[in-house]
Amino acid sequence: MRKIRNAFSFLAVAAFTLQAGGFGPGKTIITDSGHYSNVFGEFRNFRIFLPPAYYENRGKRYPVIYFYHGWSQRYFGSISSEGYDEGKSNGGDNIAAFVETHDVIVVKPDGYNRKPHEEYYLRPYNVSPVETFRQYPVYFPELVKFIDNNYRTIPDREHRAVAGLSMGGFMAFWIGGKYPDLVTAAGSFCGSPEFYAGPQEFPAEYRHIDLAKNYKGVNVRLNYGNRDFIRCYHRDLNRIWPNIMDNYQYKIYEAEHTTCGLGEMFGFIMQTFADPPKKPLKWHHIDVYPSFEVWEYQVSSDRNLPGFTILENVDNRGFRSSVREFLPDGELLPSVRLSVITAPVYDKNQLYTIRDFDLQTFSCTEKTIRSNESGRLKIDLDGGLHEIGINRIRDKPNLCCGSVVIDGQPWVIAGREARIRLRILNKGNSEAVKVMAVVSAAGGNAAIRQNTASFGNIAPGNSSQGSDYLSFSVTADTIEMVKLKLMIRDGNRNEWSDQIEIAVRKDPPAIENFEIADGRLFNVACSGTDTSALFLGNGNGDGIANPGESIVILVKDQGLFRRTELFSADQYINKNGINERHSDNWANYDHVGGSAKYSVPLISSDCPENHNIEFIASYWLPSYPDHIIKYGKVSIPVSGQDNTSPEIRWINVTGDNTVQVKIRDGAGIRSARARFTSGGEDGRVFEADLNDEGRDGDRIKNDGLFSATVPKQNFGLFRMEVETIDIFGNRTIKKFDRLFVFH
């Protein structure tokens, strides 16, 4: 029988508790409770598991595990399955049984994420699709603060962890990676691999396989069953993470989609509490939100498109930053305004030199800024790829690796010698003399053949590619990423450590049976075992690759055309960092939420006649509940001329009357113009010439985003029509039904 232990009023009391179980001698105390959440704007519930002696030994404090339930479940138990809370559930390997014999508190928050008047549904956390503005991960710091203030916890990151099942496993990994400054371990039971997540207005495809860098300073573990219907996605993850993460482990159980090995997982977390990883001296972070805080850094941007903000190699001497459309190699979004406020680690009210390398051109700019009263620096950037150096006036050199170029082959292939050349940057205030780089293997997957390279002297704000190659070979043919340790030294015995991660491609057989979709309608495989008629590519539709066309390569397998993800190092493919990728969601087939990817590469207009472009193509085949990933080589000749009209990818109007139009074309754009027609009865019409020259409302030159700031208008709603013409005279006119506000 449930018993109300504390009444509450909305005016004065923040929480109530209900006895849910336990309270017998030596038994785990299980209580349902709640608090008012400012993040959600409503009362939120949770179940808490307290050790049997919690109320007897009132001087003792405990570490905390936050456990996230899965689909169809709530904080009070499971609607459609046995559960894992107490008694005989999960074969006795459950939360209550573990807490009964260990000094730990477990909090099980409610993942339900709907307003009272909205339809009840079984999918928690509001991911895939993102249907409300209520962002569940943003709630975590608020919940932690409440638990720490109202229960006898050890209130630090070294004694706090997250874990979860299925969709809750997805959340545990997401929260563990988003808040490495709040937790020390993250565990997933049969966790989902990817979902659309983030802001409701512009969610992005969030895949854990791309987020390994977020877990510096966090121990990570995955438990899954050999009969789990998600297991193939876990195998995909394990092709990458073990090769680049020293703090990741996984175990496969004789089980289905359950909290298999719950006691072992919690034991792993307890071991982490006993010997927690330290805050990393150099950390990385990737976030789907335009604004976030991590490790006392405050990052904000005006991004209103799907994407990710990326910080790498952050320490008190600088960092690398970028904003990308998708991970790991999506197109950069340099038009985004980005602001980074550092942690308070600098001298107060002092001048610092900021060196900013553009890593696409390796040009360097310099400015001086002053730290504030707290010892923080505010560094304003754009969303391009930047390497930032932070220096006091007399600081020593500040060296890092700016790029890695593979020589003689398009990518690293297992079993073959790979020769790489590094570019070393000096983002410091002093010259570095007699610079050397030394690489070594990280793990057992690479054999180093030539381990040193010389770079001479490097002046402040300069870079050197040197004349020497480093070389190695990948010894395992099953991995897709190799990690090397890098040590940079100068003649004054200064040292800088880094690591290099390089993708490893297979050397598969040639694919003969394929078609080129260049603006053609095809009946293709989709959603695992379904088919759909889709118009793919952008061109004349003759099935021949021409300059200026965007193409999709379709491979015929098991009687169906299958869209492919493509990799190429050809100089005439995706110039200037263009990279278009789409997803084919397989949820209807495997009930997971994962998706196969396919590419839409753009052929440059200056591609020579009869030039052959080589791709490695990959695609999925269904074998329920698995997907089989196939690889092959595709070689296509390019012929003809650019007769393809520019492609308008998206449009946007900002609050200051700035019109933005993203245009994709294999050649240069001669002109772009927007025409606006009032949606009201006044019949107003006006036009604006758009430019990509970094002026008149355009933020970044030559980024493919054409913009103009419209003069002040009387407030009104307008429809837009855009006309754009490339240098060959190919024209596109597109009308948009949306209404845009001008004022």
Summarize pLDDT for 155-184 with one digit per residue, the tens. 999 999 999 999 999 999 999 999 999 999
Confidence grade of residue 20 (pLDDT, cut at 50, 70, 90): low
All residues at 6 or more sequence positions from 462 whose CB lies less than 8 Å from its CB, including other chains: 364, 425, 426
Handedness of CA 106, 112, 113, 117 (dihedral sign): negative
Which residue ranges make up each domain of the chain?
Answer: 4-274, 283-391, 399-505, 514-638, 647-742
CATH class for the region spanning 399-505: mainly beta
Residue found by looking up tokens 């696409």 in the block: 360
Q: What is the pLDDT of residues 640-672, one digit of tens each?
A: 999 999 999 999 998 899 999 999 999 999 999
Q: What residues contact 65, with CB distance under 8 A and at least 6 apart? A: 104, 105, 106, 107, 161, 162, 163, 266, 269
Q: What is the pLDDT of residue 671?
A: 97
Measured at the alpha carbon of residue 632, what is the angle toward residues 562 and 499, in degrees to the nearest 5? 110
pLDDT tens per residue, range 476-508: 777 889 999 999 999 999 999 999 999 998 889
Q: Which amino acid is at 204?
A: A
- The average pLDDT across 269-282 equals 96
Label residue 2 by pLDDT band (50, 70, 90).
very low
> How far apart, in whole angstroms, are the C-alpha atoms of residue 647 and residue 642?
13
pLDDT at 6 over 50: no
Q: Strands of 84-157 (E only): list them.
A: 105-109
Residues 465-481 pLDDT 10s: 988 999 999 987 778 89
User: So what's the pLDDT on residue 14?
Assistant: 43
User: What does pLDDT average to over the chain?
Assistant: 93
pLDDT for the residue 91? 93
pLDDT tens digits along 292-314: 999 999 999 999 999 999 999 99
At residue 491, the 3 state secondary structure works out as coil
pLDDT per residue over 523-562, tens digit each?
999 999 999 999 999 999 999 999 999 999 999 999 999 9
- Among 75-79, 480-484, 562-566, top mean pLDDT goes to 562-566
- 331 band by pLDDT with thresholds 50, 70 and 90: very high
Q: What is the DSSP letter of 711?
A: P
pLDDT above 70: residue 9: no
Phi/psi zone of residue 434: left (φ > 0), alpha (ψ -120 to 50 degrees), beta? left
Q: Are 531 and 588 in contact (CB under 8 A)?
A: no
Q: Mapping DSSP to helix (H, G, I), strand (E, B) and coil, where does residue 648 land?
A: strand
Distance CA 215, CA 564 (A): 30
Q: Which backbone phi and psi does 266 adopt, to 5 degrees?
A: -65, -30
- The CATH code of the domain at 4-274 is 3.40.50.1820
Q: What pLDDT does residue 17 have?
A: 56
d(CA 32, CA 48) in angstroms, rounded, equals 6
Of residues 203 and 683, the one with the higher pLDDT is 203
- pLDDT class of 60 with cuts at 50, 70, 90: very high
Encoded amino acid at 3, one letter: K
Q: What angle do CA 167, 169, 171 make, to 5 degrees?
A: 75
Cα gap 444→448, rounded to integer Å? 11
**Omega cis (within 30) before 410:** no
> DSSP assignment, residue 381?
E
* Residue 1 pLDDT grade (very low, low, confident, very high; cuts 50, 70, 90): very low
CB atoms within 10 A of CB 212: 24
Taking the C-alpha atoms of residue 166 and residue 58, their distance in angstroms, rounded to an integer, is 35
379 pLDDT tier (thresholds 50, 70, 90): very high
The pLDDT value given to residue 8: 35
* Residue 526, CA atoms < 13 Å, CB-side half-sphere: 11
Omega cis (within 30) before 625: yes
Kindly report the number of other CB atoms within 10 A of residue 612's CB atom. 10
What pTM was computed for the model?
0.94
Residue 382's pLDDT band (cuts 50, 70, 90): very high
Class of domain 647-742: mainly beta
- CA dist 95 and 85 (Å) reads 5
Cα separation of 457 and 137, whole Å?
47
Beta carbons within 8 Å of 298's beta carbon, 6+ residues apart: 340, 341
Give percent of the chain with pLDDT exceeding 90. Answer: 85
> Of 600, 704, 595, 592, whose CA–CA distance to 646 is shortest?
704
Alpha carbon distance 677, 102 (integer Å): 69
- On the question of pLDDT at 23 being above 80, the answer is no
Per-residue model confidence (pLDDT) at position 708 = 96
Contact partners, residue 166, CB within 8 Å, separation at least 6: 70, 71, 189, 190, 191, 192, 230, 257
- Amino acid 15: pLDDT: 47
Percent of the chain topping pLDDT 70? 96
Query: Residue 107: which pLDDT band, with cuts at 50, 70 and 90?
Result: very high
Q: What is the predicted pLDDT for the residue at 716?
A: 85
Cα–Cα distance list, 677 to 432, 680, 736, 738 (Å): 60, 9, 11, 11
Tokens of 637: 């000749």
As beta bridge partners, residue 33 has 17, 46
Q: What is the pLDDT of residue 410?
A: 80
Say which residue the tokens 């459950």 belong to. 94
Q: What are the residue ranges of helices labelled H in 401-520?
A: none
Q: Count of CB atoms within 10 A of residue 159's CB?
A: 21
Predicted pLDDT of residue 349? 96
Query: What pLDDT does residue 593 have?
Result: 86
Same fold, 4-274 and 647-742: no
The span from the first CA to the last CA of the chain, in angstroms, equals 62
Predicted confidence at residue 670, as pLDDT, reads: 97
Please check the confidence at residue 118 and state whether its pLDDT lies above 90: no
- pLDDT at residue 451 tops 60: yes
Cβ-contact 220, 248 below 8 angstroms:
yes
> Please, are residues 500 and 404 in contact by the beta-carbon 8 Å criterion?
yes
Burial of 24 (0-12, 13-18, 19+ CB in 10 A): exposed
